Structure 1
């Protein structure tokens, strides 16, 4: 099989947001839906290369049981987004996801806003990265395209960085071009330091082509746009639609 230029991790958090609007967990009722596992399997059937979920401290969508269910049943890779807390670290060490992406987390935010301050939390993150890496999980830092944050991520032993593309997605014209320049510089430095370069946040089929100047991209993690499109065209088609656009990336 020919390896595609760019891999897709499908974030299915917001499938569970819909379930949580009525059911606290998948065990509350035999009617609890939509199924997180069905969403993962449908994404895999469409060609997704990994499944991403964020187990938040406040459990606003993904629940512990969801992560266990996915770990036991999906055929691709499991990417667990998590804040740097002892509780979630213990869960990650027990479940052993293929990847962990360390993210900033605030109870007040609607979704993850901005990158993690790796440079300001080196020692705490270094300990977590080592624990996860020693347990067989590759670790990524979700960071803004800031060169100091890239250097700090390499210094603490992360295998990957995921560049926060929210600012890119929210701007147009010259402001977007300026953010692309920042993303390019961060990707170049990260690659030179031996890091895998991933990206995510706010990405859509419409804005992805503007991201293509960024070199060395290995994987995109995309959720909200895919789930939103799925409302109208179905999840499998939404994933395939995204993959079709991603196939135009050339590093």
Structure 2
């Protein structure tokens, strides 16, 4: 079964807009788990424009499924991870001013750097995933770092899905096949939604986890949070999703 990890960055963005604690981020995380999500994802950035470093500390105490912390392994980020020790750390090469993640790692160029970071994180007991474009050579290089998993960056799939799902998914199937051969676990995330998720789930063997935030929160405005989480779960269960 492919697990659903819900990225709650956008809930934190809404809270920060008024400077108080509404919506309550910790209660939202509890509710999302109760509604059926199998993990909570956060991606703190240096300017703390949505998830704050203190949020990560607080979430560690309340998340009962799996806490996945994403980010660029800057010294501050690594200090936070060493303190919190989440179940999973996803390494993402974001620039400080990036609006959202927009590229995966060049694991060939940064192989030695990533190998050192991965070893450090694994020594803490964290599972490590590397955010990656669906390129077989990059998957091969990722395997040499010692990472447990890769997370395929799915924006390109989402952009081309309606023009032709099979063609849009083809690079991801090729990358996933290499990952399986090398013993790497497989996650995916970015721009997945109720339209394109089920097709990927059915046609990408070995997919273990998807991380979804922006689309899920947008859907929840119209469909309700509980209903939306369950609709995404249905996409990952083989059942027909009806809004």
TM category (shorter chain) comes to over 0.9
What number of residue pairs does the alignment pair up?
238
Tell me how far 1:173 sits from its aligned partner. Answer: 4.9
Distance 1:181 1:226 in 2: 25
Question: What value does the CA root-mean-square deviation take over the aligned residues?
Answer: 1.4
Residues in 1 aligned to 2:179 and 2:61: alpha-carbon distance in whole angstroms: 33
Residues 55-80 of structure 1 show CA distances to partners (whole Å, capped at 9, x for unaligned) of 11221210011001110111111000
Q: How does 1:1-251 map to 2 (within 5 A)?
A: 5-23=1-19, 29=20, 32-173=21-162, 176-211=165-200, 212-248=202-238
- TM-score, reference length from structure 2: 0.94
SS of the equivalent of 1:123 reads helix
TM-score (norm 1): 0.91
Unaligned runs of 5+ in 1: 24-28
Deviation at 1:174, TM superposition (A): 5.3
The equivalent residue for 1:26 is none
Do 2:161 and 2:196's aligned partners in 1 also have CA atoms closer than 8 Å? Answer: no
How far is the alpha carbon of 1:22 from its aligned partner? Answer: 2.0
Counterpart-to-counterpart distance in 1, 2:163 and 2:194: 20
1:77-113 C-alpha deviation (Å, 9 max, x unpaired): 1000010211101110111000000012123332111
Q: Unpaired runs of 5+ in structure 2?
A: none
